[in-house]
Structures are given as structure tokens and as C-alpha cells.
């Protein structure tokens, strides 16, 4: 067999979460003679880069990770095309991902961007009108190829130009996965990743705290959104929240956020000499709010294990640390976490544009 002349192979940027559809898309294009760059997009809510990188290596694909910037949070706060069942702005998010891939296409001289979208697979973002809207609003237009459903869609530029053989592209449609699983067997993909990409924005238990943040802090940015992943989230008053780490990983994340140059007005509270959570109080650092934060350390900690028998906490703020006696105040005792039952109450009134308006 002659080695392939890579320079003659059309280069394609393929969005690659490592989920089944993105794997099949990359395999199909690779086997059609394309030079595939698997582009993984990392967001604070969905990090698939490790698993995706391993899969790309296994498939012999070039692999690249792009981490979203502050502009991503703007679309999470105010998506033009609205939220799904939770706080997932899927249409806007896909437009954003495609814009990133478009820039990469232009940088590398690739002929198109490919995605693993399947017509009709998801109600919010994979109906025909939404697919067309994503192509148009991302600026990719007919440089956006969906190889798994291509036969149902209008021919793209690369198909018309004969760079990719349309006849060899697929005609998958709908929610069924049987055909995808058969193809996975054909490509020898082995143990398959879960079809849901693990995006926290699709979780109805996570969504209430995002809506609460957006409502209280319209200028929320990356630092604020990072907090939401660091444990229990309690609203103390209209401008103040307390984040209570659940484990050592959360504690480390909270310490990192506390030290970050982007940090808002916040205080870190930790148990003095017993096991207990790291708590970050963000917003109005009044004595009462700091007392509530200290009370949360006791509520979720083990002050009874203190060798000194004193329920003290260390409060760090403004470059200084001091120790105070703490008690579980009524407020610290009564604060409750937001649950999916709060979702309807916190969801903003939709002011969205239907994707159908973008049919070109």
C-alpha cells in the first residue's frame, strides 16, 4: 500500500467531544480520505478533553483543545435562542463552537468544519431549522458539513466541489442509536462513551444556581460561574452567597478562586483545628454575613473533634487572617440549597428569537 500524500488530502476541522456521534463523524471523514483535526472545546461546564484526547490518539487523529473565553458566559446569560429544559443554551452554544472551528478552519486552510449532529436527534438544536440557523449564524454557511445526516441536507460546498463524495456520506435521522452502534462496531470503537456529553448546563439540579447567579449578578463572568462548581451554593441575601466546599477538591478550588486576581469581594472561612468545609462568602462582607459563613463551617463540619474544644474558624480577607468564635446561627441553620423545584421560579421570562426566523 502506498503511503497517503497528506498534502493532497482535504483538511477538515471536526468538532470532537469524544461522544459517539463525533467519533463516527471523524472515522467516516478519515476513511473518506480527509485529514481530520479533532477539535475539542472545553467549557467550565463540560470538560471532555482527557477522554477525547485518548480517543483521538487511538483513532490516529490530530487533536486540539480550545478553552472558551469570557464571551461564552455572555451567551449563557442571555442566549438569543433561549434555554433548553435546564439552563442549556444549546443553539447559541453550537453557533459559538462553530465560530471557533471556523477560525481554526481559516487558520489552517481546512476546507470545511464538520460536526456529529444528526437531523432530528435532539428537539432543541437538531431540527432542520436549527441546523440551518447554526450554519448561518456561525458564518460557516455551506462550509458546515454534517456527515452523519448529509444525505438529508442540502449539499455543502465540499460536496459540490467533489472534495468529499456525497454518496459516501450518511443518511442518519432521528433519536434511534442502533445505526450508530452498528457503525461503532464496524469502526472497532470498543467501549463506547455515554451519549450525553456530561454538560452541567443540561442538569436540572445545577440550573437553579445558574439562574440565581444571573438574576443577582447581571455582569457575572468566569470567576462567578466557577464558584457554582465548588460545592453547595447558598444565597444569604440579595447580594451575597456562600459556597461550601464538599471535599478536598472543592476546598482547593475555593482557595484558588479566593486568591485569583479576578476575585470579587470575598472572605474565606475555614475550621481552625477540626474537620470541616472551606467556605467562601462573596458579596456584602458584613459581620452578620461572615457569622453566617462561620456557622456553615460548623453546620457541615465536625467542631466536636476540636482538640481545643473551641468552635473557632479562621476568616481570611483583604490579605489578613483572624480567628473568631463561631456558632450555628439560626440563619446558617435554616439556609437551604436550591433544588430543581426552584427551577421554574428562577427561570427568566423568555425573550428569545425562534431559530425558524433564520431559515435562509
Interface residues toward ligand SF4, by CB under 6 A: 46, 88-90, 93-94, 197, 199, 201-202
**93 vs 158 by CB, closer to ligand SF4:** 93
- Nearest distance from C-beta of residue 78 to ligand SF4, angstroms: 14
- Nearest distance from C-beta of residue 38 to ligand SF4, angstroms: 16
- Nearest distance from C-beta of residue 293 to ligand SF4, angstroms: 31
**141 vs 197 by CB, closer to ligand SF4:** 197
**92 vs 159 by CB, closer to ligand SF4:** 92
Phi, then psi, of 314 in degrees rounded to 5: -100, 125
DSSP string, 44-88: TTB--HHHHHHHHHHHT-EEEEEE--THHHHHHHS-TT---SSS-
Q: What angle do CA 315, 337, 45 make, to 5 degrees?
A: 90
Q: What gap in Å lies between CA 180 and CA 116, rounded to an integer?
A: 11
Instruction: Using alpha carbons, select from 324, 316, 160, 337 the residue that is nearest to residue 244.
Output: 337
Using DSSP's 3-state secondary structure scheme, residue 294 falls into helix
**90 vs 326 by CB, closer to ligand SF4:** 90
**32 vs 75 by CB, closer to ligand SF4:** 75
Q: Sheet harboring 240-244: ordered strands across?
A: 232-237, 240-244, 279-282, 266-271, 312-317, 320-325
**21 vs 224 by CB, closer to ligand SF4:** 21
- In the chain, helix, strand, coil percent, each to 5? 40, 15, 40
Using DSSP's 3-state secondary structure scheme, residue 347 falls into coil
- Nearest distance from C-beta of residue 140 to ligand SF4, angstroms: 16
Instruction: Using alpha carbons, select from 237, 16, 183 the residue that is nearest to residue 113.
Output: 16
**201 vs 294 by CB, closer to ligand SF4:** 201
DSSP 168: G
> What angle, 0 to 180 degrees and rounded to 10, lies between the N-to-C axes of helices 128-137 and 90-108?
50
- Nearest distance from C-beta of residue 324 to ligand SF4, angstroms: 41
- Nearest distance from C-beta of residue 221 to ligand SF4, angstroms: 18
Q: What gap in Å lies between CA 360 and CA 141, rounded to an integer?
A: 10
Distant-in-sequence, close-in-space partners of 168: CB < 8 Å, separation ≥ 6:
28, 32
**28 vs 90 by CB, closer to ligand SF4:** 90
- Nearest distance from C-beta of residue 43 to ligand SF4, angstroms: 6
- Nearest distance from C-beta of residue 216 to ligand SF4, angstroms: 22
Amino acid at each position: 500500500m502506498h503511503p497517503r500524500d497528506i498534502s493532497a488530502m482535504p483538511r477538515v476541522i471536526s468538532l470532537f467531544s469524544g461522544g459517539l456521534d463525533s467519533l463516527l463523524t471523524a472515522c467516516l471523514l478519515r476513511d473518506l480520505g480527509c485529514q481530520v483535526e479533532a477539535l475539542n472545546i472545553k467549557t467550565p461546564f463540560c470538560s471532555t478533553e482527557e477522554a477525547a484526547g485518548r480517543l483521538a490518539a487511538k483513532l490516529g487523529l490530530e487533536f486540539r483543545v480550545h478553552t472558551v473565553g469570557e464571551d461564552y458566559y455572555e451567551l449563557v446569560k442571555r442566549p438569543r435562542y433561549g434555554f433548553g429544559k435546564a439552563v442549556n443554551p444549546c443553539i447559541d452554544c453550537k453557533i459559538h463552537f462553530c465560530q471557533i472551528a471556523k477560525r481554526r478552519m481559516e487558520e489552517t486552510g481546512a476546507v470545511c468544519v464538520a460536526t456529529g449532529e444528526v437531523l432530528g436527534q435532539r428537539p432543541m438544536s437538531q431540527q432542520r431549522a436549527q441546523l440551518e440557523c447554526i450554519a448561518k449564524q456561525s458564518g460557516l454557511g455551506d462550509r458546515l458539513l454534517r456527515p452523519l445526516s448529509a444525505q438529508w441536507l442540502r449539499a455543502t460546498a465540499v460536496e459540490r466541489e467533489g472534495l468529499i463524495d456525497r454518496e459516501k456520506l450518511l443518511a442518519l435521522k432521528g433519536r434511534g442509536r442502533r445505526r450508530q452502534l452498528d457503525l461503532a462496531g464496524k469502526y472497532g470503537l470498543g467501549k463506547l462513551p455515554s451519549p450525553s456529553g456530561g454538560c452541567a448546563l443540561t442538569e436540572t439540579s445545577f440550573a437553579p444556581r445558574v439562574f440565581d447567579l444571573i438574576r443577582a449578578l447581571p455582569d457575572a463572568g468566569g470567576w462567578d460561574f466557577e464558584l457554582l462548581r465548588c460545592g453547595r451554593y447558598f444565597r444569604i441575601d440579595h447580594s451575597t452567597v456562600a459556597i461550601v466546599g464538599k471535599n478536598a477538591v472543592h476546598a482547593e478550588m475555593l482557595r484558588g478562586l479566593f486568591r485569583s486576581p479576578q476575585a470579587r469581594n470575598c472572605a474565606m472561612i475555614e475550621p481552625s483545628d477540626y474537620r470541616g468545609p472551606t467556605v467562601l462568602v462573596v458579596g456584602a462582607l458584613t459581620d452578620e454575613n461572615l457569622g453566617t459563613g462561620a456557622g456553615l463551617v460548623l453546620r457541615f463540619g465536625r467542631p466536636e473533634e476540636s482538640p481545643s474544644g473551641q468552635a473557632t474558624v479562621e476568616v481570611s480577607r483583604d490579605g489578613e487572617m483572624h480567628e473568631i468564635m463561631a456558632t450555628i446561627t439560626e440563619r446558617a441553620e435554616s439556609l437551604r440549597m436550591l433544588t430543581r423545584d426552584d427551577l421554574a421560579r428562577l427561570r427568566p421570562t423568555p425573550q428569545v428569537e425562534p431559530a425558524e426566523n433564520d431559515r435562509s
